[in-house]
Amino acid sequence: MRTRKSARVGQYAALLAYLAFLALPFLWLLSTAFKSPRELGSPHPSWIPEDPTFGNFRQAFDEQPLLHAASNSLLAAASAALVAVLLATPMAYVMARHRTLLGRAATGWVVVSQAFPFVLVIIPLFLVLKNLRLIDSVFGLVMVYVVWSLPFALWMLVGYVRAVPAELEEAAAVDGAGRLRTLVSVTAPLLAPGIVATALFAFITAWNEFFFALVLLKTPEKQTLPVVLTHFIGAEGVADLGPLAAAAFLATLPSLVVFALIQRRITGGMTAGAVKG
């Protein structure tokens, strides 16, 4: 299909506008992170720092327990991702291979659970965890994260299981492989990339999560990175901009790296699914 030249120019102009809208706020965050206090105080801020400095990063680490918070976040997110995938994979397998009432109920629940405001879930959870003495504990938070990430973990995994042709399993069965043997040596290797992608996605969601962590963790030493970041913003909303930008940038890096790794898988998987459906 030929497109007229003027239309092309318009398209590129629109694309550039989108790129600017998406990228500029992030570039501004980066720029602020490397500015000296003197420059931040100047009435005419510029895009490129005049004398770039790492001082904000040092100050960010001095002011708030960032490393400690990052290790809390890492612990919570990694364990939540691991447990969620361990629990979800077998169920996803059953849901993908069998059309059962349970499977349909679970799918329905996935949709319904998205619609409820967190406040309706967090109050009872808060009371339950309090009775179990799991308030203000990373373990309690991990439990919440696991359940919270199960719906989409199931959703993703069911898709990945369906992509593994059942005929392969049948062929293995015909060749005399037992049920377990088939799962371990035929299904599991084909499913592994999907499981890893699901785990990484669960990791990012837990790493980024704020609301549950805000409610459930009270002691500063136990708080996760997003909660600690909000401490940079003082009570009056007056913030030390340089260190705030530096800390915010650092907190984003793990998500960006992990997401870059799995992005193709997520968007690609969706596209493949859409074409097939």
Partner 1 sequence: MTWVTGSGRPAERDTRAGPGGGRISGHGAWFLVLPALIPILVLSVGPLLYGILLAFTDAQSGRTASTRWIGTLNFQDLLHDTLFWESFRIGLVWAVGVTVPQFLLALGLALLLHQELRLRWLARALAIIPWAMPEVVVGIMWRLVYNADAGVLNETLRDLGLGDGRDWLSGLGTALPAVIVVGVWAGMPQTTVALLAGLQNTPRELHEAAAMDGAGAWRRFRTVTWPALRPVALAITALNLIWNFNSFALVYVLTNGGPGGRTRLPMLFAYEEAFRYGQFGYAAAMGCVMVALISVLLALFLVGRLRGGEES
Q: What is the DSSP string of 20-82?
A: HHHHHHHHHHHHHHT--HHHHHSSS--SS-SS--SHHHHHHHHHS-HHHHHHHHHHHHHHHHH
Instruction: Quote the least distance from Cβ 221 to partner 1, whole Å.
Output: 19
Burial (CB count <10 Å: 0-12, 13-18, 19+), residue 274: exposed
The span of 49-57, 62-70, 143-151, 191-199 binding partner 1 (CB under 8 A) equals 143-151
Q: What is the DSSP string of 250-266?
A: HHHHHHHHHHHHHHHHH
Kindly give, in sequence order, each residue whose CB lies less than 8 Å from that of residue 160, ignoring residues fewer than 6 positions away: 92, 191, 194, 195, 197, 198, 269
Could you give the 3-state DSSP secondary structure of residue 233? strand
Instruction: Quote the least distance from Cβ 143 to partner 1, whole Å.
Output: 6
238 is a site residue for partner 1 (CB under 8 A): no
Q: Which of residues 186-215 bind partner 1 (CB under 8 A)?
A: 204-205, 207-208, 210-211, 215
Give how far Cα 17 sits from Cα of 13, 25, 177, Å.
6, 13, 57
Among residues 32 and 79, whose Cβ is nearest to partner 1? 32
Contact with partner 1 (CB under 8 A): which of 167, 219, 221, 234?
A: 167
Instruction: Quote the least distance from Cβ 180 to partner 1, whole Å.
Output: 10
Contact with partner 1 (CB under 8 A): which of 5, 48, 119, 131?
A: 119
Backbone angles phi, psi at 50, to 5 degrees: -70, -50
Q: Which of residues 72-101 bind partner 1 (CB under 8 A)?
A: 86-88, 90-91, 93-94, 96-100
* 243 to 262: interface string for partner 1, x by CB under 8 A: -xx--xx-xx--xx-xxx--
Contact with partner 1 (CB under 8 A): which of 178, 184, 192, 267?
A: 267
28 is a site residue for partner 1 (CB under 8 A): yes
Contact with partner 1 (CB under 8 A): which of 5, 51, 120, 133?
A: 120
Among residues 123 and 192, whose Cβ is nearest to partner 1? 123
Give just the sign of the alpha carbon dihedral 247, 252, 258, 261: negative
133 is a site residue for partner 1 (CB under 8 A): no
Instruction: Quote the least distance from Cβ 165 to partner 1, whole Å.
Output: 9
152 is a site residue for partner 1 (CB under 8 A): yes
Instruction: Quote the least distance from Cβ 58 to partner 1, whole Å.
Output: 19
Contact with partner 1 (CB under 8 A): which of 116, 131, 133, 221?
A: 116
Instruction: Quote the least distance from Cβ 166 to partner 1, whole Å.
Output: 4
The Cα 214–Cα 198 span in angstroms is 25
Kindly give, in sequence order, each residue whose CB lies less than 8 Å from that of residue 95, ignoring residues fewer than 6 positions away: 102, 103, 106, 107, 154, 158, 161
Which tokens hold the place of 235? Answer: 């009570």
The Cα 248–Cα 70 span in angstroms is 12
Instruction: Quote the least distance from Cβ 189 to partner 1, whole Å.
Output: 17
Instruction: Quote the least distance from Cβ 250 to partner 1, whole Å.
Output: 10
Beta strands in 140-238 (DSSP E): none
